[in-house]
């Protein structure tokens, strides 16, 4: 899976992506020269210290934000805005509370003007896939966090995208439920062969799900390392190779965290105050 598919192009490719906020000369970029490529059907996890710009990167891949420099390509074409074949799952679930489970799942299809009868079929199919068959007429407030995220995943799947972007999708759910949901997402990934990109700060989660882990540095985000995870699926957290992979990523991130902590200390020194202000929005 590490080779280019079809000999054509990568499914998604980031080329020297920069992101800067504000226009001042001395402003420090949030994202600095990030490049990586994803093959069709790959499960990628982006990890990095909190506030390093992982989510910004994902939002740019979704077409919700634009890079200051560089380019994000989907199937060889630059991403210039939301794309019907790129879908997203949110940490906050982001369900419309006034819509039922069914209404939420069919939302993307509605926007694509798919007729009602077809929408209902898709809703049923994907609710079944995420294990929520029979819940279609409940409102989000009647669901637990885990169930809400299942709806979020079904909504993302319903438009039959090629790429599903997940922003900390399991972080707002209790660990026990999250684990079941991860297993289910791994199954869905195997079944549908769609490309998944998950932003997370949970390294165990990353090792459990990813074919490829992209480790970002502390702000400004650069690619520190791209690690391929070639463990057999379903993955066993207690397996020695799993633990080794986890250890090596942890070591990389610890380095970054230490850099970040060192910078925090520098912040207290007046000469560096200006510098730390520029980093402020982490």
Partner 1 sequence: MSAAFSKRMLSIKANVHHTVAFEQYLWLASLAGIFLVWEATVRFGMVPESKLPSFTATVATLVASLLDKGFLMRVLQSFLNLTGGILVALATALPLAIFAGLRNRFDSTMTPLIMLAGALPDIALLPVLVLWIGRGSAAAIAIAAFSAFFPMYFTIREGTKDIPKDLFHVAAVFNTSRADTFRKLILPAVSPQLFTGLRLAYDFVWEIVLAIEIFSGVTGIGSYISGAVEAGEVTQAFAAILAVGVLAIMIDRLVFGRAEKWIRRWMD
Could you say which residues in the range 55-94 bind partner 1, by CB under 8 A?
A: 59, 62-64, 82, 84, 86-88, 90, 92, 94
Q: Which helix (H) or strand (E) holds 273?
A: helix 273-279
Nearer to partner 1, 87 or 217 (CB): 87
Phi/psi at 28 (5° precision)? -100, 130
| Residue number, 89 or 223, with CB nearest to partner 1 | 89
Least CB distance to partner 1 at residue 232 (A): 31
In terms of Cα–Cα distance, which of 201, 179, 199, 197 is closest to 189? 197
| 20, 139, 184, 233: which one binds partner 1 (CB under 8 A) | 139
The structure tokens 């997940």 sit at 166
Residues 108-137 that bind partner 1 (CB under 8 A): 108, 110-112, 133-135
Nearer to partner 1, 18 or 135 (CB): 135
Closer Cβ to partner 1, 135 or 250, answer by number = 135
Pick one of 28, 69, 114, 138: the residue that binds partner 1 (CB under 8 A): 138
Whole-number minimum distance, CB 110 to partner 1, in Å? 8
Min dist CB 103 to partner 1, Å, is 10
CA 273, 201, 194, 31: dihedral to nearest 10 degrees?
10
31 or 159: CB nearest partner 1? 159
State in angstroms the smallest separation of the CB of 83 from partner 1: 8
Ramachandran sector of residue 108 (left: φ over 0; alpha: ψ -120 to 50; beta: rest): alpha
Write out 202-235 in H/E/C secondary structure. Answer: CHHHHHHHCCEEEEECCCCECEEEEEECCCCCCC
Nearest CA to 65 among 21, 109, 112?
21
Does 142 bind partner 1 (CB under 8 A)? Our answer is yes
**Are the C-beta atoms of 1 and 41 separated by less than 8 Å?**
yes
Site of tokens 């909190």? 50
- 162-221 residues near partner 1, rule: CB under 8 A: none
- Site residues, partner 1 (CB under 8 A): 59, 62-64, 82, 84, 86-88, 90, 92, 94, 96-99, 107-108, 110-112, 133-135, 138-142, 159
């Amino acid at each position: 899976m590490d080779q280019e598919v079809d000999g054509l192009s990568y499914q998604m490719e980031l080329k020297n992506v920069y992101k800067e906020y504000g226009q001042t000369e001395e402003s420090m970029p949030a994202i600095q020269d990030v490049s990586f490529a994803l093959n069709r059907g790959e499960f990628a996890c982006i990890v990095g210290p909190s506030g390093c710009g992982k989510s910004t990167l994902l939002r740019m891949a979704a077409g919700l934000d634009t890079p200051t420099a560089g380019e994000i390509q989907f199937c060889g074409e630059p991403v210039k805005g939301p794309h019907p074949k790129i879908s997203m799952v949110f940490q906050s679930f982001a369900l419309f509370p006034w819509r039922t489970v069914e209404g939420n799942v069919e939302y993307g299809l509605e926007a694509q003007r798919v007729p009602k009868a077809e929408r209902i079929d898709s809703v049923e199919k994907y609710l079944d896939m995420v294990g929520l068959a029979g819940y279609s007429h409940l409102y989000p407030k009647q669901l637990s966090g885990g169930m809400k995220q299942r709806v979020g995943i079904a909504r993302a799947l319903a438009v039959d995208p090629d790429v599903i972007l997940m922003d900390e999708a399991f972080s707002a759910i209790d660990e026990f439920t999250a684990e079941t949901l991860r297993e289910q997402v791994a199954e869905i990934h195997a079944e549908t062969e769609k490309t998944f990109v998950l932003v997370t700060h949970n390294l165990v989660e990353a090792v459990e799900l990813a074919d490829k882990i992209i480790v970002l540095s502390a702000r400004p985000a650069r690619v520190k390392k791209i690690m391929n995870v070639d463990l057999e699926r379903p993955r066993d957290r207690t397996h020695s190779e799993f633990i080794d992979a986890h250890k090596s990523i942890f070591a990389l991130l610890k380095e970054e965290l230490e850099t970040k902590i060192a910078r925090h200390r520098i912040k207290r020194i007046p000469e560096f105050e200006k510098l730390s202000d520029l980093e402020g929005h982490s």
